[in-house]
Amino acid sequence: MSYDVSVFGTVITISASNTLPLPTPIIAFSGSSDPFDVATNVIGDAEKGVNGDLITWSTANPLEVSINVISGSPPDLILKSIGEANFPRSGGRNARDVITIAAIFPGLRKSAFTGGKMVEFQPGFSAGSDGKLKDAMYKFKFEDTVNIFNQ
């Protein structure tokens, strides 16, 4: 049996409830950093009681997603505008956007993340020692996710 795990042709859409309400495609992904990364999530823990019994519990943690795009590309400028709109400033009010991201991979595998917030953004451009602009990284945390797998 063979499995094709290529992600060539992946498209991500992002919407921000106030700043960018219509889903906008992101396709200019980084070549030197993971373009789309979903962090592992701790969903429970366990310990042993004083008599050796296993005690378990569930934990609720936000789902962390990172997107790395080509610095200065249209997707970078779109993501920067969301970051700028949600950047807390003294005496001002930020956009308080609720973020939704949908990732569509080849083979019609899909992941959607809802109820999110941008938690890290690159407010400017950075120079790398290789003489190129550094890739722009954006981090989000989400309340929920749905995955659809093509059989």
CA separation for the pair 112, 100 (Å, rounded): 7
What's the confidence (pLDDT) of residue 151? Answer: 52
Question: Residues 21-40: pLDDT tens digits?
Answer: 999 999 999 988 899 999 99
Cβ neighbours of residue 116 closer than 8 Å, sequence gap 6 or more:
65, 98, 99, 100, 101, 140, 141, 142, 143
Question: Residues 86-133: pLDDT tens digits?
Answer: 999 988 889 999 999 999 998 878 999 999 999 999 888 899 899 988
The verdict on pTM exceeding 0.75 is: yes
Q: Which residue has the tokens 């920067």?
A: 80
Q: Which residues pair with 103 in a beta bridge?
A: 12, 111
Determine which helix (DSSP H) or strand (DSSP E) holds 85, and give its type and residue range. Answer: helix 74-86
Question: Residues 58-69: pLDDT tens digits?
Answer: 999 999 999 999
